[in-house]
Amino acid sequence: MEVYLDYQSAKPVDPRVIEEMTPYFYYKFGNPSSLHKIGDDATDILDKCRKTIANFINAKKEEIIFTSGATESNNLAIIGYALRNKAKGNHILISEIEHISIHNIAKYLSKIGFNISKIPVDPYGSVNLKKIKERITDKTILISIGYANNEIGTIQQISEIGRLCKEYDIAFHSDAVAAEGLIPIDVEKDNIDLLTLSSNDIYGPKGLGILYIRKGIRVNPLIIGGGQERGLRSGSENIPGIVGMAKAVEIMKVEMNEEVKRLKVYRDRLIDNILGNIPKSHLNGHPTSRLSNNAHFRFEGIEGEALLLSLKDKGISVSTGSACTSKTLEPSHTLIALGLLHEEAHGSLELTSGRFTKKEDIDLVLEVLPQVVERLRKLSPLYK
């Protein structure tokens, strides 16, 4: 039996979501742009789904733009906003621990004349408000800070950052992919102007996401075509995907509280046992302000890929921030921003549980991990 503790990377689609989507591939295949009955039916369902999803984050349905996923939403939010508002200024703030898509978007924008500042984080991965404030200039037009970190699970003080942006009249974008389904999100309460969500991260189908754009906030489209999604994202709507995401939201609304409670028990058991039973092990991320599904460790003297392979042999799927598993051979920028040395970042292990995780899965990890760590330490010249 495979044990999957890598929900951060990908989630299975809830079977109830698949069932809801199925008719929309053959029987209800219409295009909302068509004027006949089948087209009208598609318009109706698109409208209904948009309302459901808007309601999930306390937004209005006109403020939801469907995209192909979180990466596209981040592109539309940041590049779209920057290009539309460059007359106001060319300065954008992001944090050092944003998702790689945002780091690379920032890199692109800096090549075409925008100024990007990166806000450092404390040892637990929290963005300090003072550090945001001191970097704001009269050219600052946008601040993008993730709701919670996808790797180490640290939750940011989003309401406070939102208030700060409002005070300075700067647009606020938040990538909420890691947080959705684990924390209730309210764009009004948190003063968020642009918000990224992905469908798969709440057990909906892959290839679909949304960007919430507050009424009055203007962005340039990046995909030009037939003018769908108020002209901000052309291309025929992915109706089966949208139906799936709306169903995923409906399930989440009912089950989130219970699910989060269950995940917290798993997380705390992992953290308490691993820190208690494996010498020279450390928790990465915030001790309390962290996502209920995230347990992130580092073990002195061993390397993450070797750890991952050893667990793979025992039928356990996990993630690591080690360079040896990345395309660039650089260790995770998030772990480095915490103040870790390369060799420390290499020894990290990320365990993220989810809707289909069972108590026995956690038991197996707790049984196997100490032996695996001990074996690799015996091979290591760095562990004494």
Q: Which is nearer to other proteins, 65 or 271 (CB)?
A: 271
Q: Which is nearer to other proteins, 15 or 381 (CB)?
A: 381
Applying CB under 8 A, does 303 fall inside the site for other proteins? yes
Considering only 183, 222, 275, 324, the residue that binds other proteins (CB under 8 A) is: 324
**Separation CA 272–CA 293 (nearest Å):** 14
**324 labelled catalytic:** yes
Which residues 6+ apart lie within 8 Å of 55 measured at CB?
none
Residue span binding other proteins (CB under 8 A) among the ranges 167-175, 227-235, 339-347, 349-357? 339-347
Considering only 189, 230, 359, 378, the residue that binds other proteins (CB under 8 A) is: 378
Applying CB under 8 A, does 306 fall inside the site for other proteins? yes
181 touches 202 (CB < 8 A): yes
214 touches 187 (CB < 8 A): yes
Residue-wise DSSP of 141-191: EEEE--SB-TTT-BBP-HHHHHHHHHHHT-EEEEE-TTTTTTS---TTTTT
What is the token pair recorded at 308?
Answer: 């991952």
Considering only 10, 38, 265, 341, the residue that binds other proteins (CB under 8 A) is: 341
- Catalytic pick from 136, 183, 223, 324? 324
Applying CB under 8 A, does 155 fall inside the site for other proteins? no
- Using only C-alpha atoms, what is the Rg of the chain? 22
Considering only 48, 51, 84, 135, the residue that binds other proteins (CB under 8 A) is: 135
Residue span binding other proteins (CB under 8 A) among the ranges 148-156, 208-216, 221-229, 326-334? 326-334
Torsional sign, CA 73, 79, 80, 82:
positive
Residue 151: HSE in the Cβ half-sphere, 13 Å Cα cutoff: 28
Q: Which is nearer to other proteins, 131 or 264 (CB)?
A: 131
Least distance in Å: CB of 166 to other proteins? 23
Applying CB under 8 A, does 302 fall inside the site for other proteins? yes
Least distance in Å: CB of 309 to other proteins? 5
Residue span binding other proteins (CB under 8 A) among the ranges 10-18, 98-106, 201-209, 331-339? 331-339
Chain positions 19 to 78 lying near other proteins, rule: CB under 8 A, are none
**Separation CA 194–CA 173 (nearest Å):** 4
Let me know how many helices (H) and strands (E) the chain has, helices first.
Answer: 12, 12
Least distance in Å: CB of 128 to other proteins? 10
Residue span binding other proteins (CB under 8 A) among the ranges 174-182, 190-198, 235-243, 318-326? 318-326
C-alpha distances (whole Å) from 216 to each of 84, 87, 117, 193 are 13, 16, 25, 9
CA torsion, ordered 104, 105, 107, 109, to nearest 10 deg: 170
Least distance in Å: CB of 343 to other proteins? 6
Q: Which is nearer to other proteins, 134 or 272 (CB)?
A: 134
Q: Which is nearer to other proteins, 58 or 128 (CB)?
A: 128
Residue span binding other proteins (CB under 8 A) among the ranges 10-18, 128-136, 159-167, 286-294? 128-136
Applying CB under 8 A, does 134 fall inside the site for other proteins? yes
3-state secondary structure of 330: coil
Q: Which is nearer to other proteins, 52 or 117 (CB)?
A: 117
Pairing of strands 281-283, 194-198: unpaired
321 touches 331 (CB < 8 A): yes
Applying CB under 8 A, does 289 fall inside the site for other proteins? no
Residue span binding other proteins (CB under 8 A) among the ranges 148-156, 211-219, 247-255, 327-335? 327-335
Applying CB under 8 A, does 321 fall inside the site for other proteins? no
Least distance in Å: CB of 205 to other proteins? 24
Which residues 6+ apart lie within 8 Å of 45 measured at CB?
24, 28, 239, 242, 243
**Separation CA 276–CA 17 (nearest Å):** 39
311 touches 351 (CB < 8 A): no
**Separation CA 334–CA 148 (nearest Å):** 12
Residues serving a catalytic function are: 324
Contact footprint for other proteins (CB under 8 A): 96, 120, 123, 131, 134-135, 301-306, 308-309, 313, 322-327, 329-331, 336-339, 341-343, 345-346, 378-383
